[in-house]
Amino acid sequence: MRIGIVNGPNLGRLGQRQPEVYGHLTLAALEEHLRSAFPEVTFLFFQSNHEGEIIDRLESWHNEGVRHLVINPGALTHQSYVLRDCLLGLEFRAIEVHLSNIYQRESFRAHSLVAPAVQGQISGLGEFGYHLAVRYLLEKA
């Protein structure tokens, strides 16, 4: 199975960015851990700080037949009708993941515009959330 893993704005700086919130793990290490935990999966990794680039990548993966997605949209979660419409319009089995618990933080983070367009959401479990999302896609989707 091919699974796209998308990380949105500012997640390229994991490990350096607010480590008290997001931990010390880098995005490269997170990706490597997924590769070694799930050798049977072909991962497509993409991180971008640009909303339109994420939309373009989701469309091209979809055109190539990719149908499984784990997405941490970063702050686009709370502001992007564009990403929500994109996910509503494409036939992905998608899981929304957040490293931090978005319900324990500032009130603006407690609302996800993306949640209605995905199958489920995992929030607050750090790196483990990505692993659980992949397991779900492998076993249930």
Task: Please give the annotated binding residues, written as ranges.
Answer: 72, 78, 85, 99-100, 109
| Token pair 């991180």 in the structure block, residue | 47
Question: Backbone phi, then psi, for 4, in 5-degree steps?
Answer: -85, 135
Which two tokens mark 57?
């990548």
Q: Does residue 68 touch ligand DQA according to CB under 6 A?
A: no
Does 98 participate in catalysis according to the annotation?
A: yes
Q: Residue 79 or residue 119: which is nearer to ligand DQA going by CB?
A: 79
Q: Does residue 80 touch ligand DQA according to CB under 6 A?
A: no
Of the candidate residues 27, 30, 71, 72, the single one contacting ligand DQA (CB under 6 A): 72
Three-class SS state of 78: helix
Q: Which is the catalytic residue, given 68, 98, 130, 131?
A: 98
Q: 115 near 108, Cβ under 8 Å? A: no
Active-site residues, by number, are: 22, 98
